[in-house]
Amino acid sequence: MSESITKLEKAIEERQEYLGYMANALAKAGKMRRIAAASFKVMTIVLGAFAATSGTATKFFGETPFIPLTYTIVGLTIAAIGGLDAAFKYGERATDLNRLAAKCEAIVSEATTQCMFSLEPQREAGNIASKTQNIIEKLDKSINETREKAAELGLHIDRFVRWSYNKSQPTSKMPL
């Protein structure tokens, strides 16, 4: 096998590895946003249940200035949580990030399949270079599209990937 073919195959492996890191980073970011969305919902439910007791509290404690002030603060907190949830759409973004992570995994699987079924038969015929370059181009296009979609969702994916990679393997060189 020639040295240039080995380099091309290594380039495919590096891109697949990077897409795997991207998928992990996207899934982690999606999880963080999913937790935030769930936390906002739980806080809204709990505070809403508490706010529903205002009439009972007034009857039990009487007309003290503390009761209306407490329930006003609770109401403002509920409104603020609802506003943050509506503004940042954590639930929707979590879903979109998880969908993007799944797409990265699918791209890696597709490239693996292409390598197995397209490259191996061509190895004998010597046509492997053009097929390998096509796979690399598809992977590069997918990586760039993933970067753009992640940026639209408010995530600078390359920084997140590098941070995750360096944290898990501080002495290794990051692919790509």
| Angle separating helix axes 128-152 and 157-168, nearest 10 degrees | 110
- In Å, what is the CA distance from 134 to each residue of 139, 147, 160? 9, 20, 28
By the 8 A CB rule, do 32 and 107 touch? no
Q: What is the pLDDT along the chain (176 residues), one digit of tens a residue?
A: 577 778 888 999 999 999 999 999 999 999 999 999 999 999 999 999 999 999 899 888 888 889 999 999 999 999 999 999 999 999 999 999 999 999 999 999 999 998 888 776 666 656 677 888 899 999 999 999 999 999 999 999 998 888 776 766 655 666 66
Label residue 83 exposed, middle or buried (CB < 10 Å: 0-12, 13-18, 19+).
exposed
Q: Which residues lie below 8 Å from residue 153, measured CB to CB, with a gap of 6+?
A: 93, 96, 97, 100
pTM of structure: 0.83
